[in-house]
A and B are shown apart, each in its own frame.
Chain A
Amino acid sequence: MNIIVCVKHVPETAEADIKIDSEEKSIELSGLVFDINEWDNYALEEAVLLKEKHGGTVTAITVGSEDSESTLRKCLARGSDKAIRLTDKRFEESDSYAIAKILHSVIKNLPFDLILTGVQADDVGYAMVGPILAGLLGIPHATMVKKIELSDGASKVNRELEGGLEEVVELKLPALFSIQTGINEPRYVSIMGIRKAMQKEIKVLSLGDLELNKNDVGVAGSWIKIEKIYVPPAEKQTEYIEGSPEEVATKIIEIIKSRGLI
């Protein structure tokens, strides 16, 4: 079972003070702490668990600058066997489609049975790289995956739907799954893992090494152009729930249920 995991090095924004940069196309990145994208963290763990069960190798792959090596090192420390970093000045400002093309150009030449990605990235959250990559490779895919069972040449996966529903689907391998958080409990990085990872090499490739030209990547190779990023003005939306404690409690539970939280 050869598994490829696509990961992204993203800024942690959940508790940080976010500022929009002067061109209003991005957020200010200085001072932010970067780490592996949360969804990818689960995807990597799932890949390692599958490897531990079925044997084979795990290869982590990312598109990013030298800073993103720490995310690949983390993957190596947690059980990935190989790591590839795709980097080039000309990859900058690539949209999901261009990123999928970059990944495709490398992955198509690698042996694989399974590709795992996170459902989406913490930063831009398009949730498109996985499905586009599957399309480019001509393999089936499933999104929002919460459980994976593999048998000879086939897979059965559970997909998370809205309203607390789950769907079970069967796909032939090779396939691509975009992994939902909560599918497993990602392990901690151990000191032993770090020591082992330091011995492993990260393969670095740039545009010249790929079967792509400069018009396939970056702004030229993208279909989506960011117009503006801004903080929407705050709106006051307060709903007062009235009635007896029992009625109020029932209403609150309904609201929580309708949001799919329980």
Chain B
Amino acid sequence: MDFELTKEQKEIQKAAREFADKELTPELGREYDKKEEFPHELHKKAAKLGFIGCHFEESYGGQGLGILENFLILEEFCRADSTLGTALLVSTFGSDIIVMFGNDEQKQKYLPKVASGEWIASGAITEPAHGSDITSMDTTAKLDGDKYVINGGKTLISNATIADFAFVLCQTKPDAGRRGQSVLLVDNGTEGFDQTKIHGKMGIRASPSGEYSFSNVRVPKGNLVGVENMGFYHTLEFLDIGRAAVAMQAVGMAQGAFDLALKYAKERTQFGRPISDFQATQHKLADAATQIEAARLFAYKTAWYLDQGRIMPKMTCMAKNFATRMAVKVIDDCLQIFGGYGYIAEYNIERFYRDIRVTDLYEGTTEIQKNMIFRFLTK
């Protein structure tokens, strides 16, 4: 057992921190939060330095690093700014299903463009009638000659209106439930494939979400990812990485909020002394630091498992369950340290407070994580 990061991992962490501190500024975060727009320029800058998709193989435009290295980067990004960090992290969402189950042609076509920042990815699983329950899909795909014909709709899709392609979980075998689903790649611009933006999200507003509609969308048979009718199982394995990433995102955000609160507590004077002199503040910060450290170890451990090629859904569900609940609570406590100022955008902590909330909801709600953990415990 070795808890020490390697020299290279430390350098990567430091490089990501430097970039994040200078580029993922609170001012930029506030601007994009307000505009509800994706920070394209920042995304391209990060990609040029190899920070996007660094865990893709070098032959597919990545840096040949592991999930852990990718996590170290996204932790730093989310720490520096919860809004911008999330936008950058989510820019690759969906591409890991290609990494895991795609064929060489699919990897060649999509991954280098995602890693270079030229393309933005998306993954379309959720439907209006199927949120946490994805055991059957209303979006269907029927084989017609050498093409699949897709019909249906998806909602709450990250990057919907800015993505260049999507992986879409479709029902390919009607009435077969989870045993009849397939993952298909659909490029933006394909006839019958439309996107609508969802406005008014509580947080992560620089990462636009939207709806997809598919009306007789024809995609080549070659766009099938993995095995036909195994899409549900492919998606579950893909979500294993996604859940672990959300745990890491939550740790990054909690650390960012903690850093803001600690700095403020030392500066803010009340009753003639800094509020960090009061035990009520000290205990909040001590608990926060402890909880963040525990969740960080959890997230790193899941990354380590994934890098070993071990799919450990129980671990990733536990990590997400713990880290996201922890972060919601810790950021709430950090905001409390700011008093009334914490409620004002200029102090940034309110954005962390809004942005963190989604981690408790997406990639499976906390309740779903708990259902799964219990199932694994009693298996």
Q: How far, in whole Å, are A189 and B22 apart by their CA atoms in the complex?
A: 12
Q: Which of A111-149 contact B (CB under 8 A)?
A: none
B14 touching A190, Cβ below 8 Å = no
- Interface 9-residue window, one of A173-181, A191-199, A235-243: A191-199
Q: Return chain A residues, CB-CB under 8 Å to B12.
A: 191, 194
Q: Does residue A206 face the partner (Cβ distance < 8 Å to B)?
A: no
Q: Does residue B63 face the partner (Cβ distance < 8 Å to A)?
A: yes
Q: Which of B8-22 contact A (CB under 8 A)?
A: 8, 10-12, 14-15, 18-19, 22
User: Given A191-B65, A195-B63, A77 and B18 touching (CB < 8 A)?
Assistant: no
Q: Return chain A residues, CB-CB under 8 Å to B18.
A: 188-189
Q: Does residue B49 face the partner (Cβ distance < 8 Å to A)?
A: yes
B15 touching A188, Cβ below 8 Å = yes
Q: Does residue B84 face the partner (Cβ distance < 8 Å to A)?
A: no
Q: Does residue B50 face the partner (Cβ distance < 8 Å to A)?
A: yes
Q: How far, in whole Å, are A73 and B13 apart by their CA atoms in the complex?
A: 13
Q: Does residue A184 face the partner (Cβ distance < 8 Å to B)?
A: no
Closest to A189 in B: B15
A191 touching B50, Cβ below 8 Å = yes
Q: How far, in whole Å, are A73 and B10 apart by their CA atoms in the complex?
A: 11
Q: Does residue B54 face the partner (Cβ distance < 8 Å to A)?
A: yes
B15 touching A73, Cβ below 8 Å = no
Q: A60-88 CB contact bits vs B (8 Å, 1 = yes)?
A: 00000000001001100100000000000
Q: How far, in whole Å, are A50 and B310 apart by their CA atoms in the complex?
A: 48
B19 touching A70, Cβ below 8 Å = no
Q: Return chain B residues, CB-CB under 8 Å to A192.
A: 49-50, 63
Q: Return chain B residues, CB-CB under 8 Å to A195.
A: 8, 63-64
Q: Does residue B38 face the partner (Cβ distance < 8 Å to A)?
A: no
Q: How far, in whole Å, are A194 and B64 apart by their CA atoms in the complex?
A: 12
Point out the residue from B7, B10, B22, B54 that lies within 8 Å of A191, measured CB to CB.
B54
Q: Return chain B residues, CB-CB under 8 Å to A70.
A: 10-11, 14
Closest to A78 in B: B15
Q: Quick one: which of B11, B12, B19, B65 has the most chain A CB within 10 A? A: B11
Q: Does residue B71 face the partner (Cβ distance < 8 Å to A)?
A: no
A73 touching B11, Cβ below 8 Å = yes
B14 touching A191, Cβ below 8 Å = no
Main secondary structure of the interface of B (DSSP, over half): helix
Q: Which of B30-80 contact A (CB under 8 A)?
A: 48-51, 54, 63-65
Point out the residue from A74, A188, A197, A198 that lies within 8 Å of B49, measured CB to CB.
A188
User: What is the distance, in angstroms, from B17's C-beta to the closest C-beta of chain A?
Assistant: 10
B63 touching A188, Cβ below 8 Å = no
Q: How far, in whole Å, are A197 and B8 apart by their CA atoms in the complex?
A: 9
Q: Return chain B residues, CB-CB under 8 Å to A197.
A: 11
Q: How far, in whole Å, are A139 and B54 apart by their CA atoms in the complex?
A: 45
Q: How far, in whole Å, are A213 and B184 apart by their CA atoms in the complex?
A: 72
B50 touching A190, Cβ below 8 Å = yes
Closest to A194 in B: B11
A190 touching B11, Cβ below 8 Å = no
Q: Return chain B residues, CB-CB under 8 Å to A191.
A: 12, 15, 49-51, 54, 63, 65
Closest to B51 in A: A191
Q: How far, in whole Å, are A189 and B48 apart by their CA atoms in the complex?
A: 11
User: What is the distance, in angstroms, from B79's C-beta to the closest C-beta of chain A?
Assistant: 15
Q: B302-314 CB contact bits vs A (8 Å, 1 = yes)?
A: 0000000000000
Q: How far, in whole Å, are A83 and B103 apart by their CA atoms in the complex?
A: 42
User: What is the distance, in angstroms, from B83's C-beta to the closest C-beta of chain A?
Assistant: 21
B8 touching A188, Cβ below 8 Å = no
Closest to A69 in B: B7
Closest to B22 in A: A188
User: What is the distance, in angstroms, from A80's C-beta to the closest C-beta of chain B?
Assistant: 14
User: What is the distance, in angstroms, from B26's C-beta to the closest C-beta of chain A?
Assistant: 16
Q: Quick one: which of B10, B15, B22, B63 has the most chain A CB within 10 A? A: B15
Known contacts A191-B12, A192-B50, A198-B7, then 11 further A-B pairs from the complex at CB < 8 Å, ordered by chain A residue: A70-B11, A188-B19, A188-B22, A189-B18, A190-B49, A191-B54, A191-B65, A192-B49, A192-B63, A194-B11, A195-B63
19 A-B residue pairs with CB within 8 Å = A70-B10, A70-B11, A70-B14, A73-B11, A74-B14, A188-B49, A189-B11, A189-B19, A190-B48, A190-B49, A190-B50, A191-B12, A191-B51, A191-B63, A192-B49, A194-B11, A194-B15, A197-B11, A198-B11
Closest 8 CB pairs of A and B: A191-B50, A189-B15, A190-B49, A194-B11, A191-B63, A192-B50, A188-B19, A190-B50
